[in-house]
């Protein structure tokens, strides 16, 4: 099988709703206001409902209930709104029936995205681009689950592997892994080349064409997420991250920020639940 055959197996290319696409572009426009973003959110009842639900959750609720999207948007702010819109658009685009833990997948993707955003802030890179790269880093896995279900069911029954080993097994069995598939989906969705390359070259960032900093960032975020999943936010996890990949990263500063990332995971899990 090749990637073209995989995409041909799909009944239709997963699509991001038009309103969500417009919102993502709007968040990237420095002249956008929260009021104009709120007006766009109101056009999508699903996203609007999630925005109101989150704004009225214990984490964000103020002294009174948010009763309008504009009120909710003001309470949540640009960063949280952008996260919510991106997550809502992407989680709604995929349905799988292979025994795959879809909720666990999205929580894991969100964790990598949050870590990537924290790393980007430390390394003075675009935090929004870093978050999007992290959120989409393994999106190709969902297309493999959908387009190669028999193979996916066998993989889902096997013990969980680290990301690199998982992609290598897919490449051995299918001829491609989730990074290549995800990059091709990003290309078909007409997302920036920066995001395409970050997804495609996450396991070999030095080979990424042009600016390879975001591919390296994704590799770092995935490694951190795997370490804290196994060992928690611990000294042992921090020690396991020593090496060339992290030579420009202040690991002490990063680990100080990780408890907040894990707390955000819980809020995101509730949103999906």
Higher per-residue pLDDT: 139 or 93: 139
- Assess contact for 24 and 198: CB atoms under 8 A: no
Model confidence pLDDT, tens digit, residues 146-193: 888 888 888 888 878 888 888 888 888 888 889 999 999 888 877 889
Confidence of residue 14 (pLDDT cuts 50, 70, 90): low
| CATH number attached to the domain at 3-10+95-272 | 1.10.3210.10
For the question of whether the overall pTM of this predicted structure is more than 0.85, the answer is no
Supply the pLDDT for residue 215: 96
Q: Over 60: is that where the pLDDT of 11 sits? A: no
Q: Over 90: is that where the pLDDT of 197 sits? A: yes
Supply the pLDDT for residue 273: 56
Q: Over 80: is that where the pLDDT of 80 sits? A: no
- Assess contact for 167 and 121: CB atoms under 8 A: no
Per-range mean pLDDT, top range of 1-10, 161-170, 191-200: 191-200
Domain spans of the chain?
Answer: 3-10+95-272, 17-92
Question: Which residue do the tokens 């214990």 mark?
Answer: 58
Residues 17, 249: Cα–Cα separation, whole Å = 36
Angle at 198 between CA 196 and CA 201, to 5 degrees: 100
Model confidence pLDDT, tens digit, residues 243-255: 899 999 999 999 9
Distance of CA 15 to the CA centre of its chain: 16
Kindly state the average pLDDT of the residues 53-73. Answer: 83
Q: To the nearest 10°, report the CA torsion of 107, 258, 24, 71.
A: 100
Residue ranges of alpha helices (H) inside the chain are 3-9, 18-27, 34-41, 45-55, 69-91, 102-123, 127-136, 140-147, 149-157, 163-174, 178-188, 193-200, 213-231, 235-240, 251-272
Confidence of residue 219 (pLDDT cuts 50, 70, 90): very high
Scored b (16 or more CB within 10 A) or e, 9-24 reads: eeeeebebbebbbbbb
């Amino acid at each position: 099988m090749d990637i073209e055959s995989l995409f041909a197996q799909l009944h239709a290319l997963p699509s991001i709703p038009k309103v969500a696409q417009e919102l993502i572009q709007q968040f990237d426009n420095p002249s956008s206001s929260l009021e104009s973003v709120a007006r766009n959110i109101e056009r999508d009842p699903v996203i609007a409902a999630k925005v109101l639900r989150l704004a009225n959750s214990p984490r964000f609720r103020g002294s009174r209930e948010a009763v309008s999207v504009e009120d909710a948007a003001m309470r949540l702010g640009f960063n949280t709104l952008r996260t919510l819109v991106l997550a809502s658009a992407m989680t709604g685009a995929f349905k799988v029936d292979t025994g795959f833990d879809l909720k666990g997948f999205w929580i894991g993707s969100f964790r990598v995205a949050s870590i990537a955003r924290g790393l980007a802030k430390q390394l003075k890179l675009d935090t929004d681009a870093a978050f999007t790269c992290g959120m989409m880093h393994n999106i190709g896995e969902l297309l493999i689950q959908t387009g190669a279900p028999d193979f996916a069911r066998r993989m889902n029954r096997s013990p969980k592997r680290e990301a690199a080993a998982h992609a290598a097994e897919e490449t051995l069995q299918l001829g491609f892994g989730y990074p290549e598939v995800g990059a091709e989906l990003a290309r078909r969705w007409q997302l920036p080349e920066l995001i395409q390359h970050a997804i495609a070259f996450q396991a070999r960032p030095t080979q990424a064409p042009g600016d390879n900093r975001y591919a390296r960032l994704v590799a770092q975020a995935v490694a951190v997420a795997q370490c804290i999943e196994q060992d928690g936010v611990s000294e042992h996890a921090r020690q396991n991250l020593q090496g060339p990949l992290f030579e420009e990263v202040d690991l002490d500063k990063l680990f100080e920020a990780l408890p907040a990332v894990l707390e955000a995971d819980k809020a995101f899990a509730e949103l999906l639940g």
